[in-house]
């Protein structure tokens, strides 16, 4: 369990860095569509290299292809919604609001897989979800369109977590690290391959392509440890641990704002930052309660 928790915390640390890179790309004139296409192609190339490194013993089956395709479709929709939302929401706020994902995740596991959680774990889920509402009041109020984007993003992130777990489980072997690396490479390799035709609909700009590299490297690194955590701890506990990125995002956002990068993270009053910190601490409490109740 310890390795899984540490992997989840590593993912929760790297993801806010990726969110800041994406926000920086967008506020400097890049579009959500170009970032989506460029980043998927870059991660696809890197994932292809990983898969080639495992030849000729690379495991492959129809089940792996099916699970990988489900992962690709769900994460693609989630990322598109995220990129449109982050154009108008600071990365630190949006990162914490994605904690709402756990509600969809728990409900989907209950409806489709018959899983149940106890009362203490329900408390952890509600704390995690409640933090998103607290975060919404720690800055400018969001309009219905943005809230809808966040909710759709959370829905497909939850579906993606389930698909990712099934992909990890479909890869044979007892080495969790081996299976996590391959699951990541299969998912983002296929995603990159499917994104290649989209280059025809984006006016290729080498400068913007290079500008998408930092986000791509950070996100792919986060997914490598995320898949490891997911395979070891399951979807709900992984989601709870990942919610810790809210606290990390708040601290990073405050640092970025203090350094004067107002276009990436807007300067806010101490009261607003304290509200964001309170939301992040609610999530940290949820992690501890859920782990204790396991």
Is 162 a residue whose pLDDT tops 80?
yes
pLDDT for the residue 147:
80
How does DSSP assign 253-277, residue by residue? HHHHHHTT-TTTS----HHHHHHHH
Q: Domain ranges in the chain?
A: 2-293
71 contacts 158 by C-beta, under 8 angstroms = no
Is 208 a residue whose pLDDT tops 80?
yes
Q: Is 68 helix (H, G, I), strand (E, B) or coil?
A: helix
Q: For residues 59 and 102, which has the higher predicted lDDT (pLDDT)?
A: 59
Is 170 a residue whose pLDDT tops 90?
yes
Is 199 a residue whose pLDDT tops 60?
yes
277 contacts 250 by C-beta, under 8 angstroms = yes
Reported as a single tens digit per residue, the pLDDT across 8-55 is: 889 988 988 888 888 788 888 888 888 989 999 999 999 999 999 998
What is the 3-class SS of 144-200, one letter each residue?
HHHHHHHHHHHHHHHHHHHHHHHHHHHCCCCCHHHHHHHHHHHHHHHHHHHHHHHHH
Q: For residues 181 and 135, which has the higher predicted lDDT (pLDDT)?
A: 181
pTM above 0.95, yes or no: no
Kind plus residue range of the DSSP H or E element containing 127: helix 119-136
Distance CA 156, CA 76 (A): 9
Other residues' Cβ atoms within 10 Å of the Cβ of residue 1 = 10
Distance CA 30, CA 208 (A): 7
Is 187 a residue whose pLDDT tops 90?
yes
Is 246 a residue whose pLDDT tops 70?
no
Distance CA 11, CA 181 (A): 14
pLDDT for the residue 71:
93
Q: For residues 262 and 87, which has the higher predicted lDDT (pLDDT)?
A: 87
Q: Calculate the alpha carbon distances from 211 to 24, 47, 202, 214 in Å.
A: 9, 19, 15, 7
Residues in the chain, total: 294
Is 177 a residue whose pLDDT tops 60?
yes
Contacts of 71 (CB under 8 A, 6+ apart): 160, 163, 164, 167, 187
pLDDT for the residue 202:
84
Q: For residues 49 and 241, which has the higher predicted lDDT (pLDDT)?
A: 49
Is 116 a residue whose pLDDT tops 90?
no
Is 214 a residue whose pLDDT tops 90?
yes
170 contacts 120 by C-beta, under 8 angstroms = no
pLDDT for the residue 262:
47
Q: For residues 71 and 22, which has the higher predicted lDDT (pLDDT)?
A: 71
């Amino acid at each position: 369990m310890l390795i899984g928790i540490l992997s989840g915390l590593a993912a929760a640390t790297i993801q806010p860095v990726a969110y800041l890179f994406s926000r920086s790309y967008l506020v400097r004139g890049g579009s959500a569509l170009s970032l989506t296409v460029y980043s998927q192609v870059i991660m696809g190339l890197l994932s292809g290299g990983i898969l080639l490194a495992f030849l000729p013993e690379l495991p492959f089956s129809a089940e792996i292809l099916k699970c990988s395709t489900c992962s690709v479709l769900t994460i693609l929709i989630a990322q598109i919604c995220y990129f449109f939302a982050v154009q108008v929401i600071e990365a630190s706020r949006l990162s914490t609001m994605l904690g709402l994902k756990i509600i969809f995740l728990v409900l989907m596991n209950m409806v489709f897989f018959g899983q149940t959680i106890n009362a203490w774990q329900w408390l952890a889920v509600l704390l995690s979800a409640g933090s998103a509402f607290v975060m919404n009041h720690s800055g400018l109020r969001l309009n219905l369109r943005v809230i809808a984007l966040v909710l759709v993003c959370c829905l497909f992130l939850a579906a993606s977590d389930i698909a990712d777990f099934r992909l990890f489980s479909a890869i044979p072997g007892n080495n969790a690290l081996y299976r996590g690396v391959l699951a990541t490479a299969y998912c983002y390799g296929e995603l990159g391959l499917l994104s290649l035709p989209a280059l025809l609909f984006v006016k290729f700009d080498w400068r913007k392509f290079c500008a998408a590299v930092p986000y791509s490297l950070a996100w792919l690194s986060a997914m490598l440890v995320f898949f490891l955590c997911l395979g070891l701890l399951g979807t709900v506990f992984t989601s709870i641990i990942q919610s810790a990125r809210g606290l990390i995002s708040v601290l990073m956002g405050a640092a970025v704002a203090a350094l004067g990068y107002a276009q990436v993270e807007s300067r806010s009053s101490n009261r607003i930052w304290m509200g964001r910190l309170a939301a992040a601490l609610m999530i940290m409490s949820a992690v501890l309660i859920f782990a204790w109740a396991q």
